[in-house]
Amino acid sequence: MNLIGTSINHHTATIEQREALHLSKNEMTEFIGLLRNNLLSDGFVISTCNRTEIFGLPIDNNLDISKIQDALLSYKHVDGLSNKNFLNFFSCGAVKHLFSVTSGIDSLILGDSQIHGQMKDAFQLSVDMNFAGTIMRRIFDTATRVGKRSITETEIGEGAVSVSYAAIQVVEKIFANLQNRSAIVIGAGETGELAALHLKDKGIGKIAIANRTLIRAEELARKVQGEIVPFENLHELLHNFDIVISATSAPGVILNYDEVKTIVKKRRGNPVCLMDLALPRDIDPAVAKLDGVFYNDIDTLGKIIDMNIRKREKEIPAVEAIILEEMQNLFSWYNTLEVIPTIKKIRDFFEEIRQEEIDKIKHKVHEEDIKKLDDMTKRLVGRLLHNPTIRLRQIAESGLNYQEVANYTSVISNLFNPEQVDEEINSN
């Protein structure tokens, strides 16, 4: 399989370099047009925050892969990067890399579930642009199956590995039913936004956003269908919330011990969960000593994340076993592409001889007898070719490499090549 691929990702480039090469959907569409006309017959392009990768079948089997890299660098007008920043993949290695990416074991965050959907979108774009032939479509389907199996058959995606999600998982353990709870997220940056989105996904009953910059608070509130709490009124209203998640960029504490003590008193025995996702911390850690307060910060959440990462790492061999199994199935299928024309040639060869012999006697016997002879000879040829045909398919699917299968089919094809026989007879 002459599949080739090149990748610039979190292993080979800084985040600034990866951002510089990121392709929007419109850019991917335009870039695929450039590839298709010059370098690849079919393939696909994926571009996320952690990787930009190009895979496909070259128009010229002797294609220098650096031409694909140069095309990307030229298209994005990026300086400071070279071919050394790219990883290159060929044939089995290319397939294995694609499956590793789709399964999440090659992600910056081990077991990242988002990459599966991103890969499916990239595949679909190629299909929509008629940039995916039979082989690429089969690779796409198998890669998608690898991703699904990795999620359903292993625990590679289990457990929180981000601070925001870990915080929500802890909240779920404190409050069994979030539908009856209220939460406020202080800070509308990336961490605060992720926490708010996770709360919404978990079905939180009520959510509010507080941020020093009102416009940012309004944007996030719209995303999570929440309300806005003015930052200047924050301390007066915090006792109304069961869950407080703070993720600001403030230089120091915004919620001290005495303020939390007042909140506890106003809640009259109802517990409050405080999640401090800021660095430096937003909440005085001494509040953990107060009755009715469940307090966690980045350090405690980090321990949960480390434990979950270790659990995911233990699942890597199981995912790799899935990848190996699907690679074997894919290449077995690919090898059958070589034998199908040979099987057809053998059958055509025997059918031609059978038909010639029937034609020789069709004027010498009754029409009913010709029909009987025709049926009988068809069954005879079918039985004669059944075992060789089955055996040839078994050879193709046995795991032999493509060249070995090609050698088998070449020998058999030559044995049943009437044109070659005629040429040798005429030459003699």
Amino acid at 60: D
Backbone angles phi, psi at 194, to 5 degrees: -60, -40
316-361 vs 402-415: helix crossing angle, rounded to 10: 10
Computed on alpha carbons and rounded to an integer, the radius of gyration of the chain in Å comes to 32
- The position carrying tokens 């990795």 is 150
Question: Cβ(282)–Cβ(255) under 8 Å?
Answer: yes
- Stated length of the chain: 428
Exposed/middle/buried for residue 331 (C-beta within 10 Å: 0-12, 13-18, 19+) = buried
Query: Residue 277 gets which letter from DSSP?
Result: -
Is 92 annotated in the active site?
Answer: no
Please tell me the distance from the alpha carbon of residue 196 to that of residue 208, in angstroms, as a whole number: 9
Please tell me the distance from the alpha carbon of residue 252 to that of residue 275, in angstroms, as a whole number: 16
Backbone angles phi, psi at 103, to 5 degrees: -80, -15
Out of 15, 49, 376, 390, pick the active-site residue: 49
Please tell me the distance from the alpha carbon of residue 130 to that of residue 18, in angstroms, as a whole number: 27
Q: Which residues are catalytic?
A: 49
